[in-house]
Amino acid sequence: MDLFATLRQIPAGQVAELRVQTAPQESGKIAALPARLIAVRKSPAAAERERQKILREAARKKRKADPRSLEAAEYTIVLTSMGQEQLPAAEALELYRFRWQIEMVFKRLKGLLGLDQLAAKDSHLARSALYAKLLAALLLEDLTGKFLSFSPWGFPLPEPPAQPLANPTSSARRDGPRHLGRAEA
């Protein structure tokens, strides 16, 4: 499957999904697993922010950015083993959005409040310091109030169900940046 050719079919502002399966790993005796690839094209601004982040990271490591990574920056891609009946595509993306926001909160708490470091060795002092940091975190979160409206793809998802993508006609390939498997027949 040519992942990028498939992703390029997604209209702006639409959620798309494709039934795929993972590639088997004979060395680890792991069979191929059925899954759903759910994708949404990011807004131009969100895609550009992600591309700039990739370019900065490559420059920091004194490497050239992979063109596939720069193209992948245009999409948010989620892979799930849950069926459409259990988890509609838009809900899967919303769960990803919440998970992503939780990760960002922990990163912010560690950076701003040093939540990952406690200077006290005594358990009572450490507990008091942790409570103080958590209270500060709650106050900060309450003041910002922006976490619910932020999406990594840059716009709210549409209400209609996801549009299924046509199954690609090419055979499975393993030369992409992240091999996700082949489309089911």
Q: What is the pLDDT of residues 82-111, one digit of tens each?
A: 999 999 999 999 999 888 888 887 887 788
Instruction: For 32-75, write each residue's pLDDT tens digit.
Output: 999 999 999 999 999 999 999 999 999 999 999 999 999 999 99
How far apart, in Å, are the Cα atoms of 101 and each of 73, 115, 134, 150?
A: 18, 17, 17, 8
CA distance 97 to 76: 10
Both tokens of 103, joined, read: 């990760």
Residues 6+ apart with CB under 8 A from 81: 33, 34, 35, 36
pLDDT at 71: 96
Instruction: Reduce the DSSP state of residue 97 to 3 states and report it.
Output: helix
pTM (two decimals): 0.61
Beta-strand relationship, 15-21 and 163-164: parallel
Domain boundaries, the chain: 3-183
